[in-house]
Amino acid sequence: MNVNDYQNEFNKIISRKYFPSRLNNSRQKAFSKFLDIGLPTKKWEDWRHTDLSFLNKNNFRISEANDAFENIDFSKYKIKNTHTLVIINGHYVEHLSDAPKELRVLTNHEYLEQNDWRQKDKKDTPFDLLNTSLCDSGMSFIIDPDTDIDKPIHILFICSGSENLIISPQVNIDISRSSSATVIEQYASETSSFFQNNCVFASVKENASLNHLRIFSNANKTINISSSYIEQSENSNYKYFQFVDSGALQRSDIYNSLKGTNSNCFLSGLTILDDDQQSATYITTDHIMPNCTSSQNFKSVLNNKSSGVFNGRTIVREDSQKTNSKQSNKNLLLSDKATMNSNPQLEIYADDVKCAHGSTTGALDNEALFYMQSRGLDRESASSLLIRGFVIELMEEIENKDLRDYLFNKFDNWLIKNN
């Protein structure tokens, strides 16, 4: 897609009469900004290692009224003991969902209306601007104060029906003070090719906690670009885990601002790739207030021609004394064609802090393999034992047993194929 193609899609959406004019104003603004800066190239620092050629070569279009979805077999996406909210091609499908009664589910229009039509702040990257200008779907939910939701909320994003759609949903998750919830976002595809460009906003208020998990398992010819903005207030906890196992390009940009004292955020993720899949994770953890703790712990296992990028950035602002922050990125290359770019970055402007980062990249340890083979294991089981050992540390951090089993199952299937 080139800039003209985006212009055509934009013209289509702006001519749809059912959007309020206020929304169209902000769309116009965002799109003209997008035209100013253009699509990222490899010369942009944050896009140096992200290969957008698949997106640039293929054409995608926004959905029309006649793009209905087909019958979907939900059983394969089912995670036990969860409330499932189903979003198909970006649109929330109420009759397929079982939202818990404590959850106030709103459409994005309702949510914006409640908030005086103020768009949330974004970073103005080209894809965020495209999301603002092309967004026609998504959902929002609010958890009221002092509410604990026991069962995880499983948001299932499925692309189904027509091929080559551009899907630009926005999701707002508001966790009010002293509440807690577990939210699982799962991205899956029934169609073989689409371009999903979504924005997720989560706000975690005083004393609240959010356990956020994301599973990206899209088909091989799909592009999923996802930005998340997380804002934390005092004494809040945020825990994030992402699982990536497919996609022509999976790019996640995560911006986490610790805006209240004594808040914690723990981010982690596992990427397992094969063929010529590509995954890039860009994280910014911004310590704005003192006495906060953060960690980033990401691992990837790359096979064949796949490539991975980890770019973790931790900023410690001038007044955020007593910050404690860790970054770790470990990568295992299973093939000599796989590539990994790792940039753990620390930007520190306060002195009474403890910050550390570490990064390693390498192949399976030959001595360990030999040791196990000399004890009678065949090479395949030896290497699968090592790879499993490598990821198990991360996976065991997942508290919810049903989800952990679900992901282990996915991982084991991947391992059988790739070992």
Minimum distance from residue 5 beta carbon to other proteins (Å) = 30
* Interacting residues with other proteins between 100 and 129 (CB under 8 A): none
Given 354, 371, 378, 405, the residue binding other proteins (CB under 8 A): 354
Given 14, 39, 219, 350, the residue binding other proteins (CB under 8 A): 350
Instruction: Identify which of residues 213 and 332 has a Cβ nearer to other proteins in the complex.
Output: 332
Instruction: Identify which of residues 202 and 340 has a Cβ nearer to other proteins in the complex.
Output: 340
Q: Which stretch binds other proteins (CB under 8 A): 200-208, 272-280, 290-298, 338-346?
A: 338-346
Interaction between residue 357 and other proteins (CB under 8 A): yes
Instruction: Identify which of residues 9 and 253 has a Cβ nearer to other proteins in the complex.
Output: 253
Q: Which stretch binds other proteins (CB under 8 A): 64-72, 119-127, 356-364, 411-419?
A: 356-364
Q: Which stretch binds other proteins (CB under 8 A): 145-153, 164-172, 326-334, 396-404?
A: 326-334
Interaction between residue 336 and other proteins (CB under 8 A): yes
C-beta of residue 417 within 8 angstroms of C-beta of residue 274: yes
Instruction: Identify which of residues 99 and 355 has a Cβ nearer to other proteins in the complex.
Output: 355
Minimum distance from residue 322 beta carbon to other proteins (Å) = 11
Interaction between residue 349 and other proteins (CB under 8 A): yes
Instruction: Identify which of residues 122 and 357 has a Cβ nearer to other proteins in the complex.
Output: 357
Q: Tell me the site size for other proteins, rule CB under 8 A.
A: 35
Minimum distance from residue 296 beta carbon to other proteins (Å) = 13
Interaction between residue 285 and other proteins (CB under 8 A): no
Interaction between residue 347 and other proteins (CB under 8 A): yes
* Interacting residues with other proteins between 59 and 98 (CB under 8 A): none
Instruction: Identify which of residues 82 and 307 has a Cβ nearer to other proteins in the complex.
Output: 307
State the angle between helix axes of 379-395 and 366-374 in degrees (0 to 180), rounded to the nearest 10: 120
Q: Which stretch binds other proteins (CB under 8 A): 90-98, 131-139, 180-188, 360-368?
A: 360-368
Given 352, 396, 397, 412, the residue binding other proteins (CB under 8 A): 352
Minimum distance from residue 231 beta carbon to other proteins (Å) = 24
